[in-house]
Amino acid sequence: MGTPNGQKVTIMLEELLALGHQGAEYDAHLIRIGEGDQFGSGFVDANPNSKIPALVDTTNDTKVFESGSILVYLADKFGELLPTNPSERASVMNWLFWLHGSAPYLGGGFGHFYAYAPEKFEYPINRFSMEVKRQMDVLDKRLAQSPYLGGEQYSIADIATWPWYGNLVLGNLYEAKTFLDVDSYVHLKRWAETLAQRPAVQRGRIVNKVWGDESEQLAERHNAADIDAVLKS
């Protein structure tokens, strides 16, 4: 499903296709997590933890789950978007792991209590708001030093982080721009806007999305023409 975690993988695959890797051609099947599709036997076979996304590489029958693991698998398989130099690779991996430790505060913490909880409680909203603002400050300081999270080159660290913090800064997540004063994080905002202009990001972010503006919804993707039809509408 086209949640931030789902968007990571479809953006990655679209980036690989844009780089000319036809072996990255993919089928994106919608798993409606609100209806329990993730607990079906077919999906559990791919991910025993019943969380989206999950990937099955039909070229070698490899099953990969956890979005960060999928990004690393694809980067290694195609030799793209993850440096081979040990120091540069470590920098990218630092920020990839940072994201996977931080996003639960934004999604399950702030997002839940600010946007989805049936009752609004001041303490958890304030608690998670302060943590999200701290995280944005961490990103802002890093992006004041380099154009991308891993350094000078766009990488899987950016692909993993943009669906969460990029969408948040651009107002595509929780409608909390004003509440969190996101415009004050100028370097983070620059990065978010820059990545939003990438064609692969624009393509990948609409895959398996079934809510919001109909011009940005694509329940399933089985070839490039599926996305083309939505973007031209």
Q: Give the SS3 label for residue 55.
A: strand
The overall pTM is greater than 0.75: yes
Using 50, 70 and 90 to split pLDDT, how confident is the model at 67?
very high
- How do residues 13-64 score in pLDDT, each as one tens digit? 999 999 999 999 999 999 999 999 999 989 999 999 999 999 999 999 999 9
Work out the angle at residue 134's Cα, subtended by the Cα atoms of residues 128 and 136, and round it to the nearest 5 degrees. Answer: 105
Residue 3 region, left (φ>0) first, then alpha (ψ -120 to 50), else beta?
Answer: beta
Q: CATH 3.40.30.10 residue ranges in the chain? A: 4-81+203-232
In a 10 Å sphere around its CB, with 0-12 CB exposed, 13-18 middle and 19+ buried, how is residue 79 labelled? exposed
Tell me the CATH number for domain 4-81+203-232: 3.40.30.10
Strands (E), the chain: 54-57, 62-65
Stretch(es) of the chain classified as CATH 1.20.1050.10: 86-197
From the CB of residue 129, how many other CB atoms can be counted at a distance below 10 Å?
18
CATH number for 86-197: choose from 1.10.10.60, 3.90.550.10, 1.20.1050.10, 3.20.80.10: 1.20.1050.10
Instruction: State the average pLDDT for the chain.
Output: 97
Determine the 3-state secondary structure of 42 from DSSP. Answer: helix
